Structure 1
Amino acid sequence: MKRFEDLTEAETLALAIANEEEDSRIYATFAMRLRGDYPATAAVFDGMAEEENEHRRSLLALYERKFGQELPLITRQDVRGFLRRNPVWLAEELRIDVVRRQASIMELEAGQFYARAAERARDTDVRRLLGDLALIEQKHEAVAERLAETHLTEAARTGEDETKRRLLVLQVVQPALAGLIDGSVSTLAPIFAAAFATGNTHETFLVGLAASVGAGISMGLTEAMSDDGAITGRGRPWIRGLACGLATAVGGLGHALPYLIPDFWTATAVAAVVVVVELLAIAWIRWRYMETPFGSALVQIVLGGLLVLLAGIFIGSG
């Protein structure tokens, strides 16, 4: 691996050409992967890829004039200390905010690198060349801003934000909400049945812990195995399963943990308050993300929770 300072002028120019070609392909990949859900942002990356290609062609023409037709094979991986690209484009699902941030970092890092390299260069031709490359990267940033102004109109941004929100709901909120409802409601009966049957807070806590963890594992596996996301667009199964399983466990543990309090009636009162908070949180999530009227969501979830709670108390007291 060579040091950047040891590169010849021809190698430096070849490295710039390879860099422009790779960045162009990265932007083209971003555009291809985002076109279905984020067409406006895809158009921005199409334009940026074309700009990178234009710069590559200009650099190739300059190289041919100075050094001929034979281009040495050298990439950033061959140079010690050269910037590396984070391969976010290899992810199965591209997050729009991550992609935009990655593109900004790519342009900024390249410009800064060339500028610092130009300052360290002792050969005047190399210094001039690296300075030109730094200016090219600065122009890339201006091009990105201009393209964004052209394609990412207010209406386009609004549409893409709505798409982002829809994907969040499908891939995270819905499975987590299903788990939270199951964990908060279904565990009410066994926990309060154990509480009123035994009158022992420690035993009630153990029942609640077992019910919560078991329900979390069961719901997580069910969600993960029910849909691979290939057709429905609901994302990676393990992410949905993890969100559902954790939410289920948290929902049950919420009203199981108060039974760590030694006094039975104090623990039960705290658990009842936690149940109310959980039900309110579920109603709010349904209103915020599922567009369910808050009053309707509250009545539905409170009614269901109350029925399960009374069933647990009745069974435990029998």
Structure 2
Amino acid sequence: MKNFADLTEREVLAVAISSEEEDSRIYMTFAEDLRERYPDSAKVFEQMAEEERGHRHMLLETYEQRFGPHLPPIRREDVKGFLRRRPVWLTKNLSLETIRREVETMEMQAERFYVKAADQAQDVGVRRLLGDLAEAEKGHEEMAAKLTDQILSPDVRAEEDRTNRRMFVLQYVQPGLAGLMDGSVSTLAPLFAAAFATHQNWQTFLVGLAASIGAGISMGFAEALSDDGSLTGRGSPWLRGLTCGAMTTLGGLGHTLPYLVPDSWANAFWIATAIAGVVVFFELWAIAFIRARYMDTPFLQAVFQIVLGGAIVLAVGILIGAA
């Protein structure tokens, strides 16, 4: 992957052209999905798709004038810092609210891309075109924010609240949830394997502590280095990394701390293990709830993914430790 700052002007235009073409197809897919349920909103998406095709045409004309007809095979997925989009448009009968949130995120990313690209462009004409497109994408973002007024008018949130919530999810919930999932699930196997292999609380606690802190450091660096936030609006990479790392460590420590029960107590191992099992139960259900609440995942699907997956990892750790 290439850093955005390393892109040539030719590559910037090529990325913009492919992005506009893809966004146009996405909006037409949304329009087709909404046409029967919300015909007025479907027309808005058709208009947005047409405007994206117009943007692509303008970009292509500028590109051909400067660099000729051949486009280099580079897409936004090849540029570090672009937000990875969930392919929600492959799902039928999406709620209008879900589509609106997705479009807001798409247009926010497109606006930031054009602003950054305009700052980097050397040619005056290219810089002017990119600046105009940034303003156009900002208008699309505002249009998407108003899409649900027709059905949510009693409860319409202020634009600032919507933006703040979206940024909160991007900057804190996503990295925090990824860390919590990794810390809570990935440390189950080594912790309970050590517990049933030794039947010693203190040794088990040391294994869990090492696994939790090690996973936290690894996840923190992985999150911080994955995206600098310049295009996606996800904020400081080190803040996201700290959030992800801290939640990873916390997720592992939750079921590690019960093994601080002194070995001198009667049935100390089974007391600690029972407490840890209860903690694991609540951890997994809490993660499932957060996924359903903030990540638009159906609750039963989240339960199946997290609780069942965690139970399997727990069972594997116990079986290995008891072998």
Structure 2 length-normalised TM = 0.50
CA shift for structure 1 position 160: 2.9
Q: Which residue of 2 aligns with 1:288?
A: 293
Matches within 5 A, 1:9-88: none
Q: Distance in 1 between matches of 2:190 and 2:156?
A: 50
Structure 1 residue aligned with 2:193 = 193
The equivalent residue for 1:166 is: 166
Alpha-carbon shift at residue 248 of structure 1 (Å): 0.2
Which residue matches 2:236? Answer: 236
Partner of 1:210: 210
**Counterpart residue identity of residue 299, structure 1:** F
SS of equivalent to 1:259? helix
Which residue number corresponds to residue 114 of structure 1?
A: none
1:254 partner letter = G
Task: Return the letter of the residue paired with 1:228.
Answer: D
**Deviation sequence 1:257-286 (CA, Å, 0-9, x none):** 000113000000000000001001101111
Counterpart of 2:280 (choices 262, 275, 279) is 275
Instruction: Give the aligned partner of residue 310 of structure 1.
Output: 315
Indicate the structure (1 or 2) with the bigger Cα radius of gyration: 1
The separation in 2 between residues aligned to 1:185 and 1:238, in whole angstroms, is 24
Letter of the 2:231 counterpart: I
How much does 1:296 deviate?
A: 1.7
- The letter for the 2-side match of 1:249 is T
**Aligned equivalent of 1:141:** none
In structure 1, C-alpha distance between the alignment counterparts of 2:157 and 2:203, rounded to whole Å: 54
RMSD value, Cα: 1.8
Cα offset for 1:155?
Answer: 8.5
Gaps of 5+ in 2: 1-106, 109-152, 263-267
| Deviations, residues 75-95 of structure 1 (Å, cap 9, x unaligned) | xxxxxxxxxxxxxxxxxxxxx
How has the CA–CA distance of structure 1 residues 154 and 229 changed in structure 2, closer, same or farther, with 3 Å as cutoff?
farther
Distance in 2 (alpha carbons) for counterparts of 1:215 and 1:234: 22
2:271 is equivalent to residue 266 of structure 1: yes
Secondary structure of 2:250's counterpart equals helix
In structure 2, C-alpha distance between the alignment counterparts of 1:178 and 1:162, rounded to whole Å = 22
Aligned-residue identity in percent: 66
- 1:122-156: per-residue Cα shift (whole Å, max 9, x none)? xxxxxxxxxxxxxxxxxxxxxxxxxxxxxxx9898
Deviation at 1:232, TM superposition (A): 1.7
C-alpha deviation, 1:181, in angstroms:
0.2
Whole-angstrom distance in 1 between the partners of 2:155 and 2:208: 49
Q: Given the two structures, how large is their TM-score scaled by the length of structure 1?
A: 0.51
Unaligned runs of at least 5 residues, structure 1: 1-35, 38-152
Q: In the TM superposition, what are the counterparts of 1:113-262 in structure 2 within 5 Å?
A: 157-262=157-262
- Aligned pairs, number: 168
Residue 158 (structure 1) shift:
3.0
